[in-house]
Chains A and B, each alone.
Chain A
Amino acid sequence: MLKGIQKFAGVAAVLACGLSSQAFAQTQTCVPVLKSVAEVEKEVVDAKGVKSTKLMPLATATPGTLVIYTTTASNGCKQPIDNIEISNFVPEHMTYVASSAMATGAEVTYSLDGKTFGTADQLTVLENGVSRKARADEYKFFRWAFKGSLAPGAQAAASFRAVLN
């Protein structure tokens, strides 16, 4: 009986966590920290005259600028978080750069309308009544589904590149 109550209490506690309001959830330690940045590649020359490419934060940009968007989810919890899926989209006025959507340990799927997601081979466009394969510059949405769980202290990162029209 006692065991049963404990069991019940345990389930109740978990349910409470699952049904909790956002405010309540944020008081928990199990909220990953999500960070999204827009950056540009800049060539820097160090004291020894060695050139290297560095990502620099972007505040303003001219049309034609190649922007690298990187989203990072950090697990600050004491327990692993699972089924992590990072979603992002190509902002208005920008065009996706082919094959630039990437993440370690995740499968990426694309979408033209934000509803139908698929791999590059699965996406089609109906043009003048004829179905054709979607071009990369038509991709507007991304989803990165990470395999396995994210251990405490670990990070999941996904990025893509787009050019300002």
Chain B
Amino acid sequence: MILVLKQMRRVGLAVVALGAIGLSGTAFAQNTASGTSVVNTATVNYTVNAIAQTPINASATFLVDTVINLNLTGGTTVNVTPGQLNAVTVFTLTNTSNIASAFTLAAANTATGDDFDMNQPPATGTPGYILRVDANGNGTYEPGTDTATTIPTLARNASVVVFVLGDVPATAANTNTSIARLTANARDTAVGNPAWVASVGADVAGTVQIVVRNSTATVDDTYVVSSAALSVAKTSAVISDPFNLVSPNAKAIPGAVMEYTITVNNTGAQPATLNSVSDPVPALTTYLFPGQYTGARDVSIQVGAGAPTFCIAEAGGVDSNIDGCVRTGSTLTVGAPAITTVAASSSVIVKFRVTIN
């Protein structure tokens, strides 16, 4: 009697301790290891003629079957720029089987649901991806370290990060998307990694059965092109003429002063480097030099919402005062330092004036 109680207490303590561990990992609550023997022992105490008798025990035992299952998470969005190489997106694979499993992996473009296909690195120019398994568990792609493309074995409940890499075609436009689809297959850890084969037939005592609950998972990540999108517009307005003198009454007649406005607009999500804005001074007009802007300057430059600045476009192709404005022949060029970039969702406006011949 006493001996039996002691045994039961010992079992009880073990159960309580394991229960506490189980609570911390509730995500895998129903994942007892394959092959575990689950033992239950019942005891009966009784008396005969008021005298306590030796308790009797009876046991019931069963084996835990193998269950194959997996969980693949992705769904992330990665911002890329046109022409970007080795753009990395991240997936996480968890072995929710109750036994160690091997996994094969495949990454592919999707036929529908997106705007363009990523290309397979290294700079092949043909659609596709490469994938790499995180070797050191830090979740960051390291080309020299993360080289494996399959998972020979992943322990029960263990997770591993899978990187998918693609090159962004230079032709990809702002806001265009490309879907990277990762497929993971759970495979037997035996040599050659054959597919898991579900057991068929009756439940056999003492033999662990294999139940393939799910051996394949597919998840998409999305690349989104986030680039500059530039447009240029040119307008003209009459500032003054020799008779009516000023706008709005001025007419575009010989001798009138015209102002040309060149607007470079960036509707994209990324800033664009603006090397220069060049414009041939229209035929039958004469470039107004020195100009009518503040300080007798001949070019007005407005970057974004800032106040206009002004510069001098020297004739002869030499920007001697290094303000970024110069005329070469009849072509006006405005560059650095007057303008350098067009910020995202912003514009650069260049103005100059001519007289009509």
Contact = CB atoms under 8 A, between A and B. Distances in A.
Contacts of B72: none
B207 to A, nearest CB: 7
Interface stretch (B31-39, B109-117, B261-269, B287-295): B31-39
Contacts of B235: none
Interface string A63-79: 11001010101000101
A140 B59 CA distance: 16
A93 B64 contact: yes
Interface string A121-143: 00000000000000000101100
B62 A60 contact: yes
A82 B62 contact: no
A59 B63 contact: yes
Interface in A66-98: 67, 69, 71, 73, 77, 79, 81-95
B61 interface: yes
A112 interface: yes
Given A61-B62, A67-B62, A141-B12, A81 B46 contact: yes
Contacts of A31: 53, 56
A165 interface: yes
Given A60-B209, A89-B15, A83 B47 contact: yes
A124 to B, nearest CB: 15
A59 B29 contact: no
A113 interface: yes
- Of the candidates A22, A25, A73, A87, the one having the most CB atoms from chain B within 10 angstroms of its own CB is A87
A103 to B, nearest CB: 12
Nearest to A71: B42
Contacts of B51: 14, 17-18
A38 interface: yes
Given A77-B48, A87-B45, A89-B8, A25 B53 contact: yes
Interface stretch (B83-91, B198-206, B246-254): B198-206
Nearest to B208: A60
Interface in B58-80: 58-65, 67
Contacts of A44: none
A9 interface: no
A82 B53 CA distance: 10
**Considering residues B12, B38, B204, B207, which has the most beta carbons from chain A within 10 angstroms of its beta carbon?**
B38
Nearest to A141: B12
A115 B58 contact: no
B41 to A, nearest CB: 7
B204 A59 contact: yes
Interface residues of B, number: 54
B54 A83 contact: no
Contacts of A104: none
B199 to A, nearest CB: 9
B58 A59 contact: no
Given A25-B54, A30-B48, A36-B40, A87 B8 contact: yes
A55 interface: no
B48 A140 contact: no
Contacts of A95: 29
A163 interface: yes
A111 B49 CA distance: 29
Nearest to B97: A63
A17 B12 CA distance: 32
A113 B30 contact: no
B9 interface: yes
Given A60-B204, A89-B15, A114-B9, A69 B40 contact: yes
16 contacts: A14-B49, A17-B49, A22-B54, A31-B53, A60-B65, A61-B64, A83-B47, A84-B46, A85-B44, A85-B46, A87-B42, A87-B44, A92-B39, A113-B9, A164-B30, A165-B31
The 6 closest A-B pairs by CB, nearest first: A114-B12, A59-B205, A18-B51, A71-B42, A36-B58, A38-B60
Interface of A: 14, 17-18, 22, 25, 30-32, 34-38, 58-64, 67, 69, 71, 73, 77, 79, 81-95, 111-115, 138, 140-141, 150, 156, 158, 163-165
Interface of B: 5, 8-9, 11-16, 18-19, 22, 29-32, 36, 38-54, 56-65, 67, 98, 203-209, 211
